[in-house]
Amino acid sequence: MSAFNSDSDWAPNALKVLIAGGFGVGKTTFITATSEIPPLRTEELLTTASVGTDDLAGIAAKTTTTVALDFGRITIDRDSVLYLFGAPGQDRFWFLWDELSHGALGAVVLVDTRRLPDCFAAVDFFESRGMRFLVAVNEFDGAYRHNPEEVREALGLLPAVPIVMCDARDRRSATTVLVTLVRHLLAAPSPAHASSAPTEVGDRA
């Protein structure tokens, strides 16, 4: 341990990719499969002013709960580390997605074809933020195998958005999803910068 006088030479770049999708779609499984550390879990505090208490001017009752988010780490090289963040995709967590998407390179939207609508909120969010993403269909056993174009149509995705099949439990398969995402980021013309000009999306309670 030594004293540092420069503010930039002691830490690598922290790159960030988001893993989104509906409840139970395999976000934690995906992060576990790809991360070099067992996925860690942290919590964000969620403070919600109770409805209809505005007039109590500051003494409004507040409900505080925590929301868990998983993250994993992949060391890329000496200069950069990739962090994967998985967070719940329900509407009431948009405030969290706002912070998470700041500075993120892109996102993976995991989809279970048995419950396609569960990913609508995540797709809408990333589209409206100009955050580039791909859709990864997590092929659960026994799930009907849709082909990618059926999924594209069902989700109303632009042709440019890649759709890949994966097994979130498998390191190679899940890592391939990340490779495909980065290729997409390199290929796709950059939309409006994702971390600027946040758009109101959904109900952020």
Partner 1 sequence: MTSHSMHRETWLDEAAGRLVRPYTVSAGRTRPTTAMELLSWVVATGVRPRGRLEPDHDVALGLCGAATTVAEVAARMRLPAAVTKVVLSDLVAVGAVLTRPPSPAADPTDRSILERLLVGLQQRL
Ligand X SMILES: Nc1nc2c(ncn2[C@@H]2O[C@H](COP(=O)(O)OP(=O)(O)OP(=O)(O)O)[C@@H](O)[C@H]2O)c(=O)[nH]1
For partner 1, the closer CB: 128 or 147 = 128
Q: Could you count the other beta carbons within 10 Å of the beta carbon of residue 110? A: 27
The least CB distance from residue 14 to partner 1, in Å, is: 4
The pattern of x and - marking residues 23 through 52 that bind Mg ion according to CB under 5 A reads ----xx------------------------
The least CB distance from residue 35 to partner 1, in Å, is: 10
Work out which of 83, 96, 140, 148 binds ligand X, going by CB under 6 A. 140
Q: Is 28 in the site for ligand X (CB under 6 A)?
A: yes
Distances from the Cα of 124 to the Cαs of 20, 133, 153, 186, in angstroms? 12, 11, 15, 22
Q: Is 26 in the site for ligand X (CB under 6 A)?
A: yes
The pattern of x and - marking residues 111 through 140 that bind partner 1 according to CB under 8 A reads ---------------------x--------
DSSP assignment of 133-202 equals EEEEEE--TT-----HHHHHHHHT--TTS-EEEE-TT-HHHHHHHHHHHHHHHHHSPP-S-TTSSPPP-S
Q: Taking CB under 5 A as the criterion, which residues in 121-180 touch Mg ion?
A: none
SS (H, E, C) 115-148: HHHHHHHHHHHHHHHCCCEEEEEECCCCCCCCCH
Do the bridges between strand 106-111 and strand 133-138 make them parallel or antiparallel, or are there none, so unpaired? parallel
For Mg ion, the closer CB: 72 or 162 = 72
Which window, 19-27, 100-108, 135-143, 156-164, contacts partner 1 (CB under 8 A)?
100-108
Which window, 8-16, 24-32, 93-101, 157-165, contacts ligand X (CB under 6 A)?
24-32
Residue 18's contacts (CB-CB under 8 Å, 6 or more residues apart) are: 84, 85, 86, 87, 97, 100, 101, 104, 106, 107, 108, 131
CB contact at 8 A, 128 and 39: no
Tokens of 101: 């998407």
Which residues make up the interface to Mg ion (CB under 5 A)? 27-28
Binding site for partner 1 (CB under 8 A): 1-4, 7-8, 10-16, 34, 36-38, 40-45, 47, 64, 66, 68, 71, 73-77, 79-80, 82-83, 85, 99-100, 102-106, 132, 171-172, 175-176, 178-179, 182-183, 185-186, 190, 193-195
Residues binding ligand X (CB under 6 A)? 21, 23-29, 88, 138-141, 167-169
